[in-house]
Each structure stands twice: as structure tokens, then as C-alpha cells.
Structure 1
Amino acid sequence: MAGQFELGSKHIECMKLANQNISEIQDTNTKEIAKKMLAKTYGFLPSESHVYDDYLGLTVAMEEIAKVNSGVASVLADQVILREIVKAYGNNNANTVLSSKETIGILCSESGLASISNISTKAVRNNGQWTIKGTKQISNEQLLSENYLVFAQDEEGLIRLFVIPEDQITIDIVNKNIASTKISLSHAVIDLTVGDNAHIGVINDEFEYVQTVARTLVAATSVGIAHSALITSIGVAKEVRNDDGQAISSSQNMQFTLADMFAEIEASRMLTYFSANSIDENKANIKLATMAKVKASDIAAKSSVDVLHILGNIGYLSNIDFANVVLRAVDNQVKGGTNRTQMAKIYQYMLAKK
């Protein structure tokens, strides 16, 4: 679908290659698919990858992967962010992390966390060891990880980074009943002691650059989800007939719904590409990335729900695979700080003229 941000032939090839590579993998296990994509250097920094060489290429590749498998795109985005963190803040121990072929989940988010400086997970050093205690939010895709990058605050207020094997972290599942429906929420409970070799770095700045890349990638996966929702909607609207034997796409109400969906997705896509291109031009902008993340994840969630209404015309059942797409779309609204929190941040960036 054409947009106002013109992609060059290089980035169009990145899109085609990403779609081809994710589509040709004959596997249903998200972790295994992610590993196979990592072997092709998806999930690597542009300077390390063989399939893209800038952040715009990375962004369009993540969007294409999300169109086919949003769970895999989420896992790969985490690997990119991990590498950004290690590159900016890693110590000598960090090299072993990058040489590993295992997937690593990032455990930073906490309930009510608005800023990285407010992390409540604590790390206390004693006799060459670190005692880490805290609780982190964890997504379904992160549950597939073999190791975790844990953010914790030391006694001096510094944010320290630790790599912890998944078998040393307890996953606590809390069940809540909402409108007679059981909702399961997963938390990673951390209460352990590790050696100095698990400590891989210290965050010593505002963390803005990494957050800019992270929010741009969340936006990219969200655009991919929204795009898939739109394509599904168009297909159903053309296929299903009303009582008069006409396709429901002939209804002005349906046309308005699809046109609005298309316009919002295109606007989100352009904002996402603009943010990625700004990173490539050494003008990384946290405000642009945050706006892209909010707009793209909101339209992904809305489009996914709209598709459910349209799918109702062909007898949608809540246990089909599309329900997982809705969950991932909503998850992106929460990832890295809820969109409500991000809107407050956008207001602050606006006042600061960032």
C-alpha cells in the first residue's frame, strides 16, 4: 500500500526478503521460528545484520514479519533492544550475551512504572555477589525466553543490568475473574543471589536513545498487526453477501469503516518510518517514537476488534487463532509503559520542544 513516505528500492527489497524468509519457515513453534530468523540475522543491529543495514530497513522488516507472525516479531524486537542496551551500557561480561544463540527476554516493566528511574526491583552487592529481589511484568512471548535481562536499582540509585537463566526466575500466574471470564496475568518473581559474572552493565544516562529504538519497533510490529487486520477485513467484506445477494463491501457503512482503518494505519506507518529514518540520520527523537508507538498500537488494537465484528458475518468463534492477534495488539498498548502514560510523556516532550 502506497504512502507519502517514499521507500527506496533497498528498503522495498528488505520488505520482500523479510516476508519471504518468515513465510518459508515450516514450523508452528514461536521460539523455534524466532531462532531460525535470528540465524538469518533478523533481530540484530543494522551494523551487524546481513539482511538490512539501517534502522528504516530494520523497521520495515519487523513490520513484514509481524504481518505473518506477530509473536515472532515481538521476540526479534526484544533481541534488537537487548543489543542496543549491551552496545550502550555493557561491560566485559556482556560479550558472552551477544555470542549466545539463545533468546533473551527483557524484564524492565513493573506495575505502575512510569520511568526507568523508578524501578522498584533492588540489587544489593555483598562479598562479590548480588542479591536481586523484585517483581516484573512479563508477556507471553517473553515466557519463551531462555535467559532474561533484568533491570534492578542498587543502593546508590544506579540501574544495573543482569542476565539470569529462565530456570532461576519464578513465574507467578495470577487469575482474575472479569465479567465471569478468567483472566491470567503473568509476573516474573525474582529473589536470588548471583555472581559478578551475571552483572553486564550500568545505565548511566536518560536511556532515551534505546527507548526511541524500542518504541519505533513496537510501532512497526503494531503496524504489521493492523495491516493484517485490514487485509482480513477487506477479504471478508468482499466475500460475504447480505440478504440482497450483494457483497457487504457495497455498504457505505462498511466502506467508511475500512477507509477509516486504512487512513489510520497509513498515518501510523508514515510516523513509524519517519521515526526510523530520523535514527538513521542521527536525529533520533523520543517524541516521534513515542507518538508512533501510541498511534500504531492504538490502531492495531482498534483494527483487530473491528475485524472481529466483520468476522462475525462468517460465524466467528472466539477460540480461533485471530483471538491471539487481538491479545498481541493490546499487549503493544501496554508494552514499555501504557499508552496513557506515554500520552503524558508526549505532553512533556511537547512542552520541552523535543
Structure 2
Amino acid sequence: MDFQLTDSQRALQETARKYAREVVRPKSAHYDETAEFPKDLIAIAHELGLINMAIPQECGGLGLSHLDQVIACEELSWGDASVATTIVANDLANLPIILAGTPEQKQRLLGHFGERLKFASFCLTEPGAGSDVAGMSTTARREGDHYVLNGSKCFITNGGYAEQFTVFATVDKAKKHKGVTCFVVEGRPQGLSVGKKENKMGQRASNTVTLNFDEVRVPVANRIGEEGQGFAIAMETLDNSRPLTAMFSVGIARAALEHSLEYSAQRQTFGKAIREHQGVQFLLADMAMSIQAARLLTYQSAWLLDEGQKNTLVSSYAKCFAADMAMKVTTDAVQVYGGYGYMKDYPVEKLMRDAKLIQIYEGTSQVQRMVIAKELFR
């Protein structure tokens, strides 16, 4: 084991930290209030090489290791979770191609992301099939050299701005998970429409919409893997993405701790700074311990992938523990601030709202516990 970051990792960390501190944070409150899409901030991330981190270098991406990616994600989410989610949504959408695409598909479908700022969406969740992926209703009907997609996807990040969509649909509902197949929809073909834009509690600046597919034609050449392999591709994708979302929790919680430390040194009660009161000290100490534990667990889940090992169990450990940790830490940060913590004039209420979503998306904390139990039973 080696707990030291390499020189290149430290440089990446500093680049992401500077971007988060100088570019993102000054505008974070504005984008949270307005729920506008922060395209100008993402454009700067693209210039700095902080987007498309998972795309291989031979396809024009950064080709960062999984550990490198989580190091960057901590800093991005420390700056603003909405921005981090928007950035990493590209990698989530492209991971099925990276993991299961042919060499030709990788070059054709990934190569242009390095040329200009371009958004992609991962389209798995449906109104009636969130955690129950096998229960999806979106269908794919084979017609010669094309498939025809019909159905709806909800809670799709970047969906209103994306130019490429990785869509999971079933070729046979009766086969349940064995019928799920993965496709890449390029551009905005006829029949693809954007529905409701969600007005969210937290991570408000990330674009979240419903997508409707009405007789959308997709070339067979854009099918990733074989028919029926989509469920396995989706699960492997989520194994790869869980360390990233786990690290979002660490970044959010770290921000909450830092704000709490600063405020507790300034706020006076009973003739002394509140950090001198043991009750507040215990809150701060528990925050710091929990954040460090989540960070190390997330590092391990990413390291396993870099070592070519299966990380399903540890990535679920990390995602579940870190998400629940961030919710508690941010709630405690509001408590440290007292009444002021509940007000939008101060930063911690936003962090609490942002943290809540991580207990829900890419597998709820309850689903993570189901995955953990299943892996233990093996």
C-alpha cells in the first residue's frame, strides 16, 4: 500500500482545486438560485482538461486512471456538486462504449468529445423502472439495419443539452433483464424530444429532464454489445461510476467541514468561540473522521478497478457509506451554524440539499445495501 499521491496526481488535484476555487465557487450560489445550466463553467473545465476524463487517450480523451478521476472529483464537488455532476455525466454516458464497444465504435463515438465541448447522457432510469432496471418499458424493435426505439427516460442528466445518448431498451419484455440492450443515439434524430425539466431540491444547476423516444431509428452499428447484454453493461458501468459519485460526497462534506471550522472560530457564545464548547468539538471531530474514512474507502474502490479487479462490493461500500456520511455531515454543519445555517445567506444549507441527491441517484443507499448483502452471500 502507498498512501502518497504521485506528482502527476498532485498536479491534477491542484488544477481541479484551483478551477473549483476560482471559477466555480464564486458563481455557485447564483446557479443554485437560478437553476441555470452552467455551460460557461463547463467550457472552462473543457479547456483545462477536466471533462471526458475516462475516454482513452487514443480516442482523444484524457485516459485518466480511476484513482486519478476520483481525486479530481473530490475537488470538483467541493466547488459545486451540480458542476461535478454535469462534468462526470459525460463519462457515465460514455462508459458503456469504453467498456463494451468495438474499436471502431470507440473511435467513431468517442473521438469527437476531445475536439469541442459536447455533452452526452446516460439513459437508463424510467418513470416505472429506477432501481428495478429489468422492469424497463422502453423497447427496441429490429427493422433491417436499424432498431426503432419507443419509450421514455426520466431524471436524465444533461438531457436538454446532450448531442449523444446512451440508451438502454429491451428487445423482449418477457425476457426481463436478458432482453435489455444498449444503444447509442447520435444527435437529435426525428422522434427524440425533451420533456419536463425537473425543478430539484439540490444540485439545481445540473440539467435534469425527461426524454421521449417515438419511433427513433438507430443503426445496428450503434448497438453496444449483443442483444441482451445491456443489463450486464449497465451494471459494469455503475461499478465503474460509483467511486466517482462516492467522491462527490467527500467533496461536499469536506466543504461543509471547512465552513463549520471557520464559522465555529468566529461565532461567540457564553463569552467564547463556539469551537471551545465540547458539544461543537464532538460534531467537528466526527465530521473529520467520517470524511477521511469515506475518502479512503473510495480510493480503494477506484484502486481495485485500476488493478483489474472486481470492485462491486467495495464500490457499493464506498457509495453507500459516503452518501450517508455526507448527509449527516452537512446536517451537522447546519447545526453548527444554528439558525443562520438554515438561511440561504450562508453556504451550508445548499450543501445539505446537494448531499441528499447522492443517497438517491446511481443506486439508492438502500439498493447499495442490497448489492452488498448479495455480494456477501456469494
Q: So what's the TM-score if we normalise by structure 1? A: 0.83
State the match for 2:360 in structure 1: 334
| CA RMSD across the alignment | 3.1
2:85 corresponds to which letter in structure 1?
Answer: S
State the match for 1:231 in structure 2: 258
Supply the distance in 1 between the matched residues of 2:188 and 2:44 (Cα, whole angstroms). 20
124 and 31 in structure 1: CA distance in 2 versus 1, 3 angstrom threshold = same
SS in 1 for 2:23: coil
Supply the distance in 2 between the matched residues of 1:39 and 1:163 (Cα, whole angstroms). 26
Cα contact 2:340–2:346 (8 A) shared by 1: no
Cα contact 2:129–2:135 (8 A) shared by 1: no
21 and 284 in structure 1: CA distance in 2 versus 1, 3 angstrom threshold = farther
Q: Quick check: 1:67 aligned with 2:62?
A: no
1:266 corresponds to which letter in structure 2?
Answer: Q
Q: Quick check: 1:274 aligned with 2:300?
A: yes
317 and 255 in structure 1: CA distance in 2 versus 1, 3 angstrom threshold = same
State the match for 2:195 in structure 1: 171
175 and 76 in structure 1: CA distance in 2 versus 1, 3 angstrom threshold = closer
Supply the distance in 1 between the matched residues of 2:277 and 2:159 (Cα, whole angstroms). 42
Supply the distance in 2 between the matched residues of 1:122 and 1:68 (Cα, whole angstroms). 39
Cα contact 2:239–2:311 (8 A) shared by 1: yes
Alpha-carbon offset, residue 216 of structure 1: 0.7
| Residue from 261, 277, 283 that aligns with 1:251 | 277
1:97 corresponds to which letter in structure 2?
Answer: L
| Residue from 89, 99, 122 that aligns with 2:100 | 89
Cα contact 2:140–2:170 (8 A) shared by 1: yes
2:242 corresponds to which letter in structure 1?
Answer: R
State the match for 1:303 in structure 2: 329
Supply the distance in 2 between the matched residues of 1:144 and 1:24 (Cα, whole angstroms). 25
Supply the distance in 2 between the matched residues of 1:164 and 1:324 (Cα, whole angstroms). 35
1:240 corresponds to which letter in structure 2?
Answer: R
List runs of 5+ in structure 2 lacking aligned partners. Answer: 28-36, 201-207
State the match for 1:45 in structure 2: 54
Alpha-carbon offset, residue 312 of structure 1: 3.1
* Structure 1, 152-161 or 89-98: larger mean CA deviation: 89-98
State the match for 1:181 in structure 2: none
Alpha-carbon offset, residue 112 of structure 1: 4.4
Q: So what's the TM-score if we normalise by structure 2? A: 0.79
128 and 206 in structure 1: CA distance in 2 versus 1, 3 angstrom threshold = closer
* Structure 1, 138-147 or 247-256: larger mean CA deviation: 138-147
Cα contact 1:52–1:58 (8 A) shared by 2: no
Cα contact 1:218–1:293 (8 A) shared by 2: yes
Cα contact 1:22–1:65 (8 A) shared by 2: yes
2:74 corresponds to which letter in structure 1?
Answer: E
2:370 corresponds to which letter in structure 1?
Answer: A
Supply the distance in 2 between the matched residues of 1:319 and 1:105 (Cα, whole angstroms). 33
| Runs of 4+ with deviation above 6 angstroms | 49-52
Supply the distance in 1 between the matched residues of 2:7 and 2:224 (Cα, whole angstroms). 39
142 and 50 in structure 1: CA distance in 2 versus 1, 3 angstrom threshold = closer
Alpha-carbon offset, residue 210 of structure 1: 2.2
Cα contact 1:290–1:342 (8 A) shared by 2: yes
Supply the distance in 1 between the matched residues of 2:61 and 2:164 (Cα, whole angstroms). 25
Supply the distance in 1 between the matched residues of 2:129 and 2:345 (Cα, whole angstroms). 31
Alpha-carbon offset, residue 228 of structure 1: 0.6
List runs of 5+ in structure 1 lacking aligned partners. Answer: 177-184
Q: Quick check: 1:54 aligned with 2:54?
A: no
Alpha-carbon offset, residue 214 of structure 1: 0.5
Cα contact 2:147–2:220 (8 A) shared by 1: no
Cα contact 2:145–2:220 (8 A) shared by 1: no
* Structure 1, 277-286 or 4-13: larger mean CA deviation: 4-13
Equivalent positions of 1:1-354 (< 5 A) are: 5-25=3-23, 28=27, 30-42=38-50, 43-45=52-54, 47-48=56-57, 53-90=64-101, 92=104, 95-98=107-110, 99-100=112-113, 101=116, 102-110=118-126, 111-114=128-131, 116-138=133-155, 143-155=160-172, 157-163=179-185, 165=187, 168-172=192-196, 187-196=210-219, 199-202=222-225, 204=229, 206-207=232-233, 208-242=235-269, 244-314=270-340, 316-318=342-344, 322-352=348-378
41 and 315 in structure 1: CA distance in 2 versus 1, 3 angstrom threshold = closer
79 and 241 in structure 1: CA distance in 2 versus 1, 3 angstrom threshold = same
Count of paired positions:
340
311 and 165 in structure 1: CA distance in 2 versus 1, 3 angstrom threshold = farther
Cα contact 1:46–1:58 (8 A) shared by 2: no
2:170 corresponds to which letter in structure 1?
Answer: Q
Supply the distance in 2 between the matched residues of 1:302 and 1:9 (Cα, whole angstroms). 33
Cα contact 2:121–2:164 (8 A) shared by 1: yes
SS in 2 for 1:136: strand
* Structure 1, 31-40 or 275-284: larger mean CA deviation: 31-40
Cα contact 1:22–1:37 (8 A) shared by 2: no
SS in 1 for 2:343: coil
